[in-house]
Structure 1
Amino acid sequence: MSDLNRLAGAPYAQNARPFFHGEEADAVGEVMASGQFGHGEVTEEFERALASYLGVPDVVAVASGTTALQIALAVASVGPGDEVVVPSMTFCATVQAICATGALPRFAEVDPRTMCTGSDEIEEALTPRTRAVLPVLYGGRAVDLSRTRDELAGRDVAVIEDAAHAFGSRRADGQRVGATGELTCFSFGPIKTLTCGQGGAIVPRTEEDAERARRMRLLGMIESPVQRARSISYTVDGPGLRAHLSQINAAIGLVQLRHIDEVASARRILWTQYEQGLKDLPGVDLVDVGVSASVPSMLAIHIPHREHVFTTLRDQGIGVGTHYPPNHLQPAFAPWHRSLPLTERIGRRNLTLPFHPLMSGHDAQIVVDALAGALR
């Protein structure tokens, strides 16, 4: 593996950055030489490797984290007119996946300390029309959903985890995210801890869930592409999307998965180095990802004078960001607006600092010093 701490063209300036190990190009080359680019045996090998890593019976690989959420909602029989409880403080893709099923987002508050929606916030947002709750594991933090599961026992309400940030993270009891029996969705986009270039995955609850997800990702066809290559025809028995993960993307993912522990360690070390640098800055609150158990995917803070700090650091070439503008304030989602004062306050103070495995502790200190100057 390449040195994760090397300074390559001042990479600290980017808010996030893909990291490749050098073997991905060879793996992609092998797929290209085969002439079989779509879903195939490499995709299925990646699914088996993911399942082994997570300690679960099955994983269904798909084209993106967004399609993973959409398919998971459909697998849970969420549809038109149903409500899905979701934090407003998430990437808009989470909400768009809900809307794509015809369901309605019911926006919930988050805990300012963690930026996650816990049992209290979920309970406050439940209505008789709720058919799913969709907690977001912000920054990689593994949310404890045991109380939520207990409260929803006996009700026709599915729990679907948006774990786009949390691949590799563990809960307090040591279980990996994805291994607790809930429908769980991962993203393998360009800047995620594990990237396929683009991709996602669903951890199903049952064999039936897995079968429904596999048919949906391939246009509702019963036969897999591997089976269709040997068949004279195929059968479509329900709705579906073209949402499979290509063998090219799966080949990248297989290489990335072999190095996941090294990347996770580098991310934890960098987060801790940032934590040490930020602790004495007045007015700066670091979002707690539970770094001892999680694999941090970003470094988020709450600060005063956010607009001034954002502009000042950007002018210095430091790629700060905002993750995320609250969705209940977006024009597209105005019909489902509700007052969320905590989220609105966070939305005015949230800032994310450059954070990726190519950064060193020295790089982090450069960012912290620039932040301190901007705050002064």
Structure 2
Amino acid sequence: MSASTRPDARRNAAPYLYGRENEAVAQVLEGGHYGHTEVTEEFERRIAGFLGVPDAVAVASGTAALHTALLAAGVGPGCEVIVPSMTFCATVQAVLAVGADPRFVDVYPTTLCVSDQLVMDAVTDRTAAVLPVLFGGRPVDLSVIQEELDQRGVVVIEDAAHAFGSRHGLRRVGANGALTCFSFGPIKNLTCGQGGMVIPRTPEEADTIRRLRLLGVVQPPGGRANTTSYRVEGFGLRYQLSAINAAIGLVQLDGFQAAEDTRRRSWQTYRDALAPLDGVALIDVDVEHAVPHLCQVRVPHRDTVFATLRGRNIGVGVHYPPNHTQPAFTAWQRHLPATERVGEEILSLPFHQHLTEADIDFVTTSLEQALKSVGGSFGHRRPRLG
């Protein structure tokens, strides 16, 4: 079947709506209050209940979640933050926003995630935080070094932008004691259109994050409408999540079990279809625990394969160009051999809830044909996994 008859294969990622989002937004608009309202607070309560945590603080984006989490943890100028180079640039920009220095670390090529050893090898006297990225939805377990990090005063802030719904063992990501940040952007496992969430570790931390997201303002009991003044107690930003976005999130949360099932099933379908292809290395997301956000492979001659598939209207992508090679971050550049190698091989296949098994078959068949076109020697060349 031609690409023109597989429109969903053209998209690398796409939002998925359950049909009631329009009605939910319309109710907010009819109510006349569009900012932070009881709808936002209901979304926070529902997320906390879903994750099994005492509290959740909604913010305007995943980047805002990382920024406020770093501020709440006391990270600032003079500090270093350990961050994998293989991540979206927002992770690094949040570090720079608090005046800290990113200390880039390598990842395992098979998972694109950090490990306890990679983190500990990078810790210095200036390290104030570690930002493990739960790449593609895969949980990252740093429990082996948690006690040592605590003794050094190093806080773990999980960048779980890809990982809403994934699990650490029996617990959802966010319920394992780390300061955790989610993104609810347009193409995430759960979307608010745009939004984010911070899972605080203590009530005091929750209060700090709520103050930070509202320009440092502390609201009096009953809200500002019932008094003639309010207090500004410190630095803050306009990072609140609107009721419009929260209304979308509430509908998405109601349908999340379907999202979880569909994404796992699609990733497993890709895994089975890719298994016979010589030279293709599938990035492991630990599908038994993760709600996958991406389906990625490592291939030889990536740029040629990318161009060939794009020429067939297949929405492949690259997540992500390594940050330590970006012009904006050259001051913190280090040699990271695994990340640099993976950065030349990584290819993201179309992955979203609209895909059918026929779409996935079309993508993988096209990938096989594209790989064959790079030369007869391909079948004897597997990407290095170490």
Give the TM-score category using the shorter length: over 0.9
Aligned-pair distance for 1:175? 1.1
Show the 5 A alignment for 1:66-77: 66-77=63-74
1:240 and 2:228 are equivalent in the alignment: no
Task: Find 2:366's aligned residue among 365, 370, 373.
Answer: 370
TM-score in terms of structure 2 length = 0.94
Per-residue deviation, residues 296-330 of structure 1 (Å, max 9, x unmatched): 00101110000100000001100100000000000
Runs ≥4 residues deviating over 6 A: none
Q: Which amino acid aligns with 1:341?
A: P
SS at match of 1:208: helix
Q: Which residue does 2:182 correspond to in 1?
A: 186
Report if aligned partners of 1:40, 1:225 keep a CA contact under 8 Å in 2.
no
Q: Percent identity?
A: 56
Q: Which residue of 2 aligns with 1:53?
A: 50
Picking from 132, 137, 140, the partner of 2:137 is: 140
8 Å CA contact 2:324–2:330 kept in 1: the answer is yes
Q: Secondary structure of the residue that 1:153 maps to in structure 2?
A: helix
- Correspondence for 1:288: 284
Name the residue aligned to 1:131: 128
Alignment of 1:83-232 (within 5 A): 83-171=80-168, 173-223=169-219, 227-232=223-228
**Conservation of the 8 A alpha-carbon contact between 1:40 and 1:226:** no
SS of 2:103 mapped into structure 1: strand
Q: How has the CA–CA distance of structure 1 residues 29 and 323 changed in structure 2, closer, same or farther, with 3 Å as cutoff?
A: same
Q: Deviations over 1:230-280 (max 9, x none)?
A: 222111000000000000000000000001011110000000000011011
Aligned partners of 1:39 and 1:225 also within 8 Å = no
Alignment partner, residue 274 of structure 2: 278
Return 5+ residue gaps in structure 1 as ranges. Answer: 1-6
Structure 1 residue 174: deviation in Å?
A: 1.0
Deviation at 1:143, TM superposition (A): 1.1
Q: What's the CA shift for 1:153? A: 2.8
Cα deviation 1:161-181 (Å, max 9, x = unaligned): 00000000012x211100011
Q: CA offset at residue 144 of structure 1?
A: 1.1
Kindly report which structure 2 residues correspond to 1:209-358, keeping only aligned pairs within 5 A, or say none: 209-223=205-219, 227-358=223-354
SS in 2 for 1:195: coil
Q: CA separation in 1, counterparts of 2:173 and 2:121?
A: 24
**TM-score normalized by the length of structure 1:** 0.96
1:225, distance to aligned residue in structure 2 (A): 10
CA–CA distance in structure 1, aligned partners of residues 221 and 50 of structure 2: 25
Amino acid corresponding to residue 323 of structure 2 in structure 1: N
Post-superposition CA distance 1:200-255 (Å, at most 9, x none): 00000000100000000010001179711222211100000000000000000000
How many residues were matched structurally?
369
Contact 1:70 1:98 in 2 (8 A): yes
Tell me, in whole angstroms, the C-alpha distance in 2 between the residues paired with 1:15 and 1:174: 30
1:137 is displaced (CA, Å) by 0.1
CA contact (8 A) 2:211 2:218 kept: yes
SS in 2 for 1:106: strand
